[in-house]
């Protein structure tokens, strides 16, 4: 298996999951975030399904000395550091997420709808990411 083919299949599976669970629909996400409204717990079950599947598979995968197409596993090396950047970043992301209901994955998966909002959101997402490169001095 080639790295690129594997990644293509993974991307398709990821988007399929978002589409089946309707997480690419911002209204469905907002129905979860709106806890005082007609609360829809579906997002919680999506996370539960994803985390359980990954945790189980990961237990066996990480017993291998290396992945199939690479020399070693690339896991985050950030450790357990809880700093203001993590908290502030998560807060800014959360506010943006709660405004419309798109996160990076769901917006990309919704792009093929051909509608305006996912498209505009994706461009703005790129601008936000570039603004970070421009203004963040501590890499």
- State the minimum distance, in angstroms, from the CB of residue 59 to other proteins: 10
- State the minimum distance, in angstroms, from the CB of residue 82 to other proteins: 5
Candidates 1, 63, 77, 137; binder of other proteins (CB under 8 A) is 1
Q: HSE (CB half, 13 Å, CA atoms) of 75?
A: 7
- State the minimum distance, in angstroms, from the CB of residue 108 to other proteins: 5
- Within 77-136, which residues bind other proteins (CB under 8 A)? 78-82, 85-100, 102-113, 115-118, 120-133, 136
34 by DSSP, 3-state: which?
A: coil
Helices and strands per DSSP (H, E), number in the chain: 6, 0
Q: What would the DSSP string read from start to end of 63-85?
A: TSSS-TTSSS------TT---HH
How many residues at the interface with other proteins, by CB under 8 A?
A: 117
Candidates 40, 63, 77, 137; binder of other proteins (CB under 8 A) is 40
- State the minimum distance, in angstroms, from the CB of residue 109 to other proteins: 5
Does the protein bind other proteins through residue 63 (CB under 8 A)?
A: no
Does the protein bind other proteins through residue 137 (CB under 8 A)?
A: no
Are the C-beta atoms of residues 87 and 81 closer than 8 Å to each other?
no
Alpha carbon dihedral 43, 117, 5, 127, in 10-degree steps, equals -100
Candidates 49, 63, 77, 137; binder of other proteins (CB under 8 A) is 49
Does the protein bind other proteins through residue 46 (CB under 8 A)?
A: yes
Are the C-beta atoms of residues 118 and 107 closer than 8 Å to each other?
yes
């Amino acid at each position: 298996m080639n790295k690129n083919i594997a990644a293509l299949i993974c991307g398709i599976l990821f988007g399929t999951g978002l589409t089946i669970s309707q997480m690419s629909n911002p209204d469905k996400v907002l129905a979860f975030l709106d806890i005082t409204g007609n609360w829809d717990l579906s997002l919680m079950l999506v996370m539960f399904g994803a985390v359980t599947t990954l945790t189980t598979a990961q237990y066996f995968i990480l017993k291998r000395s290396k992945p199939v197409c690479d020399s070693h596993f690339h896991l985050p090396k950030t450790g357990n550091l809880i700093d203001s950047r993590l908290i502030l970043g998560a807060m800014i992301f959360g506010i943006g997420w709660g405004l419309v209901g798109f996160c990076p994955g769901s917006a990309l998966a919704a792009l093929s709808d051909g509608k305006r909002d996912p498209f505009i959101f994706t461009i703005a997402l790129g601008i936000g990411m570039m603004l970070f490169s421009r203004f963040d001095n501590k890499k």
